[in-house]
């Protein structure tokens, strides 16, 4: 490691600019200075050995506890016996009792306190709607509330570090983990992930933000090299992290498996020492993803502070490296200090998480339902929804729609209160752990409750002809269609599996009064769209997803979500026709046991991700980013704006329909020569006939662009075209604002 790198790492530790943590947390009267002083005293009271003990986490659970023979490809880290003191989590660092520093119990994740099925046998938690669904609320307070539920439950289970905060931008709509992330826009994703993290951390539970950076697909995730320019990544993927870090002040950043521009993310001087700890002045600790470390020297040299469980234990060499003088003691202290300081800052030393705390399940379930309703997006409606009293005989058609709602799989899997149904009859326990799962919140039962006057007949949809015959005999047919997603598995295309496209076409062919409810973690294409009367995107809706679907369909709740991700008309419209390196034979959950030759992904779309790409390519998506209908209608008028240093836009929104509803008026701004970017939005709920003036100030950061040569953020003077609209594809009021020039060297 060079002296220059070490001095950069040490100086960024001491830097005082742009510290997000000068805010006080959760009502605690800890000032930033007292946090620093307390952490320093604690770290300096530790022996070198004790400091080093903080720098590696082990698995906090063991697959051995499943009591079944394990195939050879299961990593040693997961088959070692559970360490003493561990409570069944993805990671564990023993306590340092001598100085009263608590053990670290690191658990996934953002959709609830996760358990992939063997970690804490018998334990359950509130399953929240997916993060993509949360993003669809366009509501920072909803993300904070969701984080609050995760944090409360983690604390009550003795967990003090949540591996939450997944914010990889959805560059690739076939990526199997998009359901864990917040969509394709850096402002929306960054604000909401930051709020989710704040919600977690106010419970004295540390949170990560992850996976830093550009882990935008699962195929080849351990080896692929994401290629992108400096300005392009800073204006897109890194901007989401930057906003999230500023807003949420996460205790830790988890570096990703993949490479970025030739260097593994956990060894990237550019990403960690340069951007994160240097430019942004980040003061928390950087932990690796599970198995993402490839060398001690390169990773510690780049700024990695903690190695997560993995078979090749590079960090076991730290003591020897210090003894030989190749790793300075000061750097080890810095690594330990970052961990201790972050735990002090969230209050985890004063409020110690212990298993056995009480959880108000009923309140959390109700809140999970509200969040699911707020995130559902009505994509199409020819007046079929909401259902009315004259819809007396209803067919509910769909695989397992009698049992429950689909959930995403992998490390973020939550075993919901009430249990789940695994769609893998007869599978051995290990494969069953990763099979698609359905939380036991039955859309069928919920609809019967919501519509007591109607007769609701169920068909599992396995025989399209039978389902079509049923559809013919009813007033309205509802098809619940889903597409499972699991970490480690991408998709060849955007179509629905299990023959559901043919099923929907057959049902709609028999009865045009057909509504489709989608349970997906990604966009899908809809060859049957013209034939159906309505489409509701329900995502993976969580603990009370069935009830939430019933509430929207019956009109007890107004649809109010907006798409956080563009729905392409076909994969031909995407920057890449297929997922780079996609190999159908290698789509194994978690990617365990599959090997790929290294390959590069050229992110040539740069910062024009999602809707910006559609604008650049002049392509019309099936449904644009930001789209979402309501059961009423809204008019836009009276555009006014102020521009100069800042840009503030005002407009009058009127509910022109007959029902109450919520409009999300979105402001998109195009700096000279660039595509439009979401720069802010206003969410208003209006009664029929009611009208309100809204005001949206463009986030100043979205008016800037990164100048690679000057290494500065710049806002060239000129005309900034903008529109206020219902989505990225539906401008309602347009304008052009003259902005003055500005530039800024440092982070937000």
Closer to ligand BGC at the Cβ: 208 or 727?
A: 208
CA distance 295 to 324: 17
Minimal distance, residue 253 CB to ligand BGC, in Å: 12
Task: Give 189's contacts (C-beta < 8 A, 6+ positions apart).
Answer: 135, 167, 169, 181, 182, 183, 240, 243, 244, 564
Minimal distance, residue 349 CB to ligand BGC, in Å: 23
Closer to ligand BGC at the Cβ: 289 or 423?
A: 289
CA distance 456 to 146: 33
CA distance 598 to 694: 50
Closer to ligand BGC at the Cβ: 411 or 630?
A: 411
Task: Give 523's contacts (C-beta < 8 A, 6+ positions apart).
Answer: 173, 494, 565, 566, 567, 568, 622, 623
- Count of helices and strands (H, E) across the chain: 19, 29
Give me 375's structure tokens.
């995130």
Closer to ligand BGC at the Cβ: 252 or 705?
A: 252
Nearest to 632 by CA among 607, 657, 653, 611: 657
What's the per-residue H, E or C state across 375-431? HCEEEEECCCCCCCCCCCEEEEECCCCCCCEEECECCCCCCECCCEEECCCCCCHHH
Give me 214's structure tokens.
């550009």
Closer to ligand BGC at the Cβ: 482 or 488?
A: 488
The conformation of residue 540, written as its DSSP 8-state character, comes to S
Minimal distance, residue 422 CB to ligand BGC, in Å: 19
CB 238 within 8 A of CB 215: no
Minimal distance, residue 88 CB to ligand BGC, in Å: 12
Closer to ligand BGC at the Cβ: 59 or 666?
A: 59
Give me 525's structure tokens.
């294409």
What's the per-residue H, E or C state across 257-301? CCEECCEEHHHCHHHHHHHHHHHCCCCCEEEECCCCCCCHHHHHH
Closer to ligand BGC at the Cβ: 160 or 441?
A: 160
Minimal distance, residue 109 CB to ligand BGC, in Å: 6
CA distance 183 to 201: 22
Task: Give 181's contacts (C-beta < 8 A, 6+ positions apart).
Answer: 131, 132, 135, 166, 167, 168, 169, 170, 189
Closer to ligand BGC at the Cβ: 32 or 64?
A: 64
Closer to ligand BGC at the Cβ: 89 or 630?
A: 89
Q: What crossing angle do the helices spanning 464-472 and 500-510 adopt, rounded to 10°?
A: 30
Tokens 């590079």 -> residue: 314
Closer to ligand BGC at the Cβ: 90 or 434?
A: 90
CA distance 279 to 270: 10
Minimal distance, residue 177 CB to ligand BGC, in Å: 8
Closer to ligand BGC at the Cβ: 57 or 655?
A: 57
Minimal distance, residue 90 CB to ligand BGC, in Å: 4
Minimal distance, residue 591 CB to ligand BGC, in Å: 8
CA distance 577 to 583: 14
Closer to ligand BGC at the Cβ: 411 or 662?
A: 411
Minimal distance, residue 176 CB to ligand BGC, in Å: 11
Nearest to 129 by CA among 143, 155, 111: 111
CA distance 40 to 59: 28
Minimal distance, residue 371 CB to ligand BGC, in Å: 21
Nearest to 338 by CA among 250, 243, 239: 250
Nearest to 518 by CA among 543, 552, 492, 486: 552
Minimal distance, residue 8 CB to ligand BGC, in Å: 28
Closer to ligand BGC at the Cβ: 131 or 557?
A: 131
Minimal distance, residue 570 CB to ligand BGC, in Å: 30
Minimal distance, residue 314 CB to ligand BGC, in Å: 17
Closer to ligand BGC at the Cβ: 163 or 396?
A: 163
Closer to ligand BGC at the Cβ: 252 or 500?
A: 252
Closer to ligand BGC at the Cβ: 386 or 591?
A: 591
Q: What crossing angle do the helices spanning 361-375 and 140-156 adopt, rounded to 10°?
A: 150
Give me 185's structure tokens.
């826009």
Minimal distance, residue 26 CB to ligand BGC, in Å: 24
What single string gives the DSSP state of each residue in 426-481? T--HHHHHTS-EEES--HHHHHHHH-TTSEEEEE-SSSHHHHHHHHHTSSEEEEEE
Interface with ligand BGC (CB under 6 A):
90, 108-109, 163, 210, 289-290, 411
Nearest to 206 by CA among 155, 135, 244: 155
Collapse the DSSP code of 482 into the 3-class scheme (helix H, G, I; strand E, B; otherwise coil) and give the result.
strand
CA distance 279 to 747: 6
Minimal distance, residue 117 CB to ligand BGC, in Å: 12
Edge-first strand order for the sheet with 661-670 is 677-686, 661-670, 718-727, 730-739
Minimal distance, residue 459 CB to ligand BGC, in Å: 38
Burial class (CB in 10 A: 0-12, 13-18, 19+), 63: buried
């Amino acid at each position: 490691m060079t002296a220059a790198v070490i001095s950069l790492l040490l100086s960024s530790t001491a830097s005082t600019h742009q510290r997000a943590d000068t805010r006080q947390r959760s009502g605690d009267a800890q000032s930033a200075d007292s946090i620093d002083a307390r952490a320093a005293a604690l770290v300096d009271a530790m022996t070198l050995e004790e400091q080093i003990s903080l720098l590696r986490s082990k698995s906090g659970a063991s697959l051995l506890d499943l009591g079944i023979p394990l195939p050879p490809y299961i990593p040693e880290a997961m088959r070692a016996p559970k360490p003493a003191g561990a409570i069944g989590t993805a990671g564990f660092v023993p306590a340092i009792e001598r100085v009263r520093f608590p053990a670290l119990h690191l658990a996934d994740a953002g959709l609830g306190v996760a358990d992939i099925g063997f970690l804490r046998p018998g334990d359950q938690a509130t399953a929240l709607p997916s993060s993509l669904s949360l993003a669809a609320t366009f509501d920072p307070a909803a993300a904070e509330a969701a984080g609050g539920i995760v944090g409360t439950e983690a604390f009550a289970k003795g967990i003090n570090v949540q591996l939450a905060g997944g914010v990889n931008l959805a560059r690739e709509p076939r990526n199997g983990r998009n359901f864990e992330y917040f969509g394709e826009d850096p402002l929306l994703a960054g604000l909401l992930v930051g709020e989710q993290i704040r919600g977690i951390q106010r419970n004295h539970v540390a949170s990560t933000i992850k996976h830093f950076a550009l882990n935008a697909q699962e195929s080849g995730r351990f080896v692929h090299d994401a290629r992108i320019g400096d300005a392009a990544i800073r204006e897109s993927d890194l901007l989401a992290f930057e906003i999230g870090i500023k807003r949420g002040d996460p205790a830790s950043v988890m570096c990703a498996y993949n490479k970025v521009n030739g260097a593994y993310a956990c060894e990237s001087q550019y990403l960690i020492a340069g951007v994160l700890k240097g430019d942004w002045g980040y003061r928390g600790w950087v932990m690796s993803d599970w198995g993402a470390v490839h060398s001690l020297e390169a990773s510690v040299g780049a700024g990695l502070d903690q190695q997560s469980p993995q078979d090749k234990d590079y960090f076991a060499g730290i003591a020897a490296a210090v003894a030989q003088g190749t790793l300075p003691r000061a750097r080890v202290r810095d690594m330990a200090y970052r961990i201790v300081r972050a735990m002090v800052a969230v209050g985890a030393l004063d409020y110690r998480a212990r298993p056995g705390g009480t959880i108000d399940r009923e309140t959390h379930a109700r809140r999970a339902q509200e969040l699911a309703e707020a995130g559902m997006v009505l994509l199409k409606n020819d007046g079929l929804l909401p259902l009315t009293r004259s819809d007396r005989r209803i067919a509910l058609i769909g695989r397992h729609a009698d049992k429950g709602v689909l959930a995403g799989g992998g490390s973020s899997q939550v075993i919901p209160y009430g249990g789940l149904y695994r769609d893998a009859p007869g599978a051995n326990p290990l494969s069953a752990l990763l099979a698609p799962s359905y939380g036991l919140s039955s859309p069928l039962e919920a609809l019967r409750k919501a519509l007591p006057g109607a007769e609701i007949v169920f068909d599992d949809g396995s025989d399209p002809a039978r389902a079509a015959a049923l559809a013919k005999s009813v007033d309205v047919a509802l098809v619940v269609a889903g597409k499972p997603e699991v970490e480690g598995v991408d998709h060849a295309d955007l179509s629905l599996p299990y023959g559901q496209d043919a099923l929907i076409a057959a049902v709609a062919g028999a009865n045009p009064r057909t509504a489709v409810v989608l349970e997906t973690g990604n966009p899908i294409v809809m060859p049957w769209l013209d034939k159906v009367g309505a489409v509701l995107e329900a995502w993976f809706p969580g603990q009370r997803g069935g009830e939430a679907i019933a509430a929207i369909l019956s009109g007890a709740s107004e649809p109010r979500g907006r798409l956080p991700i563009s729905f392409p008309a076909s994969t031909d419209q995407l920057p890449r026709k297929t997922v780079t390196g996609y190999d159908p034979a290698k789509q194994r959950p978690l990617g365990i046991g599959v090997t790929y030759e290294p390959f590069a992904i050229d992110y040539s779309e740069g910062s024009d991700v999602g809707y910006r790409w559609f604008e650049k390519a002049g392509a019309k998506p099936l449904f644009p980013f930001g789209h979402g209908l309501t059961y009423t209608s809204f008019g836009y008028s009276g555009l006014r704006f102020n521009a100069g240093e800042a840009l503030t836009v005002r407009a009058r929104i009127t509910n022109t329909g007959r029902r109450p509803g919520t409009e999300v008026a979105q402001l998109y701004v195009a700096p000279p020569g660039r595509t439009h970017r979401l720069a802010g939005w206003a969410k208003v709920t209006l009664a029929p006939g009611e009208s309100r003036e809204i005001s949206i100030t463009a986030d100043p950061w979205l008016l800037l662009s990164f100048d690679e040569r000057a290494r500065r953020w710049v806002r060239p003077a000129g005309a900034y075209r903008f529109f206020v609209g219902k989505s990225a594809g539906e401008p309602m009021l347009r304008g052009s604002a003259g902005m003055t020039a500005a530039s800024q060297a440092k982070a937000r």
